[in-house]
């Protein structure tokens, strides 16, 4: 009887401790790992947001190669993600909710099976010369009492997977061809002027890609309906905007003769002017390097820029898949 009484007291004490101790345990579990990558931050950030490449480095997908992966990529990145369903890794999805280019990516990961749960995923990027320091981690709320107990072992159980994922990611990025872009010869030209139809709208800088796609589609449809051919390369003007994070984006298609616009589609003319022009080679996202190069050229040669610069897209990316060969002309009007 004494043994049973002692056993009962012991079990009761264990049960009490099981429910009391979690009261004092953290309500949030965090796991984070870091690594240095021998590539510039533009390329590292772009690879991290490219869900089409996720299966090439993700440590959990690597565990279940037969898992069904469905990728959802959006031009503006926000809203992009992927879902998975496999025998080993269960079922769930990841969605990008917020980002600051080359600084941070915030995502939500939702586990559907075998157990429903949500966590916040964060990537942090810091340029370190030609290298990039990154960290990848997650934060999950812990319910009382079971998950609070699990939280004690979360870092140890998941940390190795995060380390494996970062190692895979580093290997992938460092093997990819450099997409930083380069600036060709900078010259002074006499711009002959151009006639065009355009659409101008206030646009968030985070949604420029999708906005440009919509604008150029509307312009092409309008010209086709009016049996008007495009005479040259598409171009875009980024007009200044007082609101931080926004620009007045104007996308245009050149035409031979003057024509009437309709609704948001306007007829415009760029006047003859002296200009500084540089050919930029690389992804459109990297063209800022050529803007900086032209600004430095103008300063060194005691020139004065006037008006707003514009970009002309010489290469059709649907016909040339090598991004290093994409050519963009950047023009700054000068006095």
pLDDT in tens, 53-70: 888 999 989 889 889 999
Model pTM score = 0.55
Give the strands of the sheet with 104-113, arranged side by side.
28-37, 131-141, 117-128, 104-113, 90-100, 81-86, 68-72
Average pLDDT, the chain: 83
pLDDT value at 199 more than 80: yes
Closest CA to 114 of 88, 75, 147: 88
> Do 237 and 252 form a contact (C-beta atoms < 8 A)?
yes
- What pLDDT sits at residue 316? 84
Angle between helices 41-49 and 154-175 (to 10 degrees): 120
Indicate if 179-193+271-335 has the same CATH topology as 21-175. Answer: no
In angstroms, the CA 158 to CA 290 distance is 43
pLDDT at 12 over 60: no
Decide: 295 and 288 in contact? Cβ < 8 Å.
no
% the chain with pLDDT above 90: 45
Among 235, 238, 268, residue whose Cα is nearest residue 252: 235
pLDDT at 29 over 70: no
pLDDT at position 140: 60
As a whole number, mean pLDDT of residues 212-225 equals 91
- The phi and psi torsions of 49 (rounded to 5 degrees) equal -90, -10
**d(C-alpha 46, C-alpha 285), whole Å:** 9
For the chain, what are the domain ranges?
21-175, 179-193+271-335, 194-269
pLDDT of residue 95: 94
CATH class of 194-269: alpha beta
**In CATH, what class is 179-193+271-335?**
alpha beta
Contact between residue 187 and residue 277 where contact means Cβ atoms under 8 Å apart: yes
21-175 folds as: Alpha-D-Glucose-1,6-Bisphosphate; Chain A, domain 4 (3.30.530)
What is the structure's pLDDT at 23?
Answer: 53
Give the chain's count of helices (H) and strands (E): 7, 15
Rounded Cα distance between 20 and 33, Å, is 31
230 burial type by CB count under 10 A (0-12 exposed, 13-18 middle, 19+ buried): middle
125-179 residue pLDDT tens: 998 877 899 999 877 664 545 554 454 445 565 678 889 999 999 999 988 876 6
């Amino acid at each position: 009887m004494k043994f049973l009484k002692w056993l009962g007291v012991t079990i009761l004490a264990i049960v009490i401790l099981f429910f009391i101790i979690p009261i004092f345990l953290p309500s949030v579990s965090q796991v984070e790992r870091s690594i240095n990558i021998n590539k510039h931050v533009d390329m590292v950030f772009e690879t991290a947001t490219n869900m089409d490449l996720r299966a090439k480095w993700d440590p959990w997908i690597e565990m279940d190669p037969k898992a069904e992966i469905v990728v959802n990529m959006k031009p503006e990145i926000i809203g992009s993600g992927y879902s998975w369903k496999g025998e080993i890794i269960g079922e769930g999805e990841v969605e990008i909710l917020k980002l600051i280019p080359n600084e941070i990516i915030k995502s939500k990961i939702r586990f559907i099976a075998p157990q429903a749960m949500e966590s916040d995923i964060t990537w942090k990027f810091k340029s370190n010369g030609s290298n990039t320091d990154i960290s990848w981690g997650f934060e999950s709320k812990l319910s009382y009492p079971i998950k609070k107990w699990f939280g004690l072992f979360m870092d140890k159980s998941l940390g190795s997977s995060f380390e494996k994922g970062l190692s895979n990611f580093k290997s992938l990025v460092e093997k990819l061809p450099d997409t930083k872009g380069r600036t060709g010869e900078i010259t002074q030209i006499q711009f002959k002027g151009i006639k065009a139809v355009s659409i101008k709208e206030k646009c968030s800088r985070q949604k420029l890609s999708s906005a440009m796609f919509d604008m150029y589609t509307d312009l092409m449809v309008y010209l086709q309906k009016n049996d008007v051919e495009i005479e040259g390369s598409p171009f875009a003007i980024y007009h200044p905007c007082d609101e931080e994070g926004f620009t007045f984006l104007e996308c245009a298609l050149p035409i031979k003769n003057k024509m009437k616009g309709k609704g948001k589609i306007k007829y415009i003319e760029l006047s003859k002017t002296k200009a500084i022009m540089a050919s930029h080679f690389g992804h459109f996202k990297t063209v800022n390097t050529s803007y900086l190069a032209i600004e430095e050229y103008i300063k060194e040669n005691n020139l004065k820029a006037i008006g707003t610069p514009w970009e002309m897209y010489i290469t059709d990316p649907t016909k040339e898949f090598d991004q290093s060969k994409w050519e963009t002309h950047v023009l700054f009007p000068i006095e």
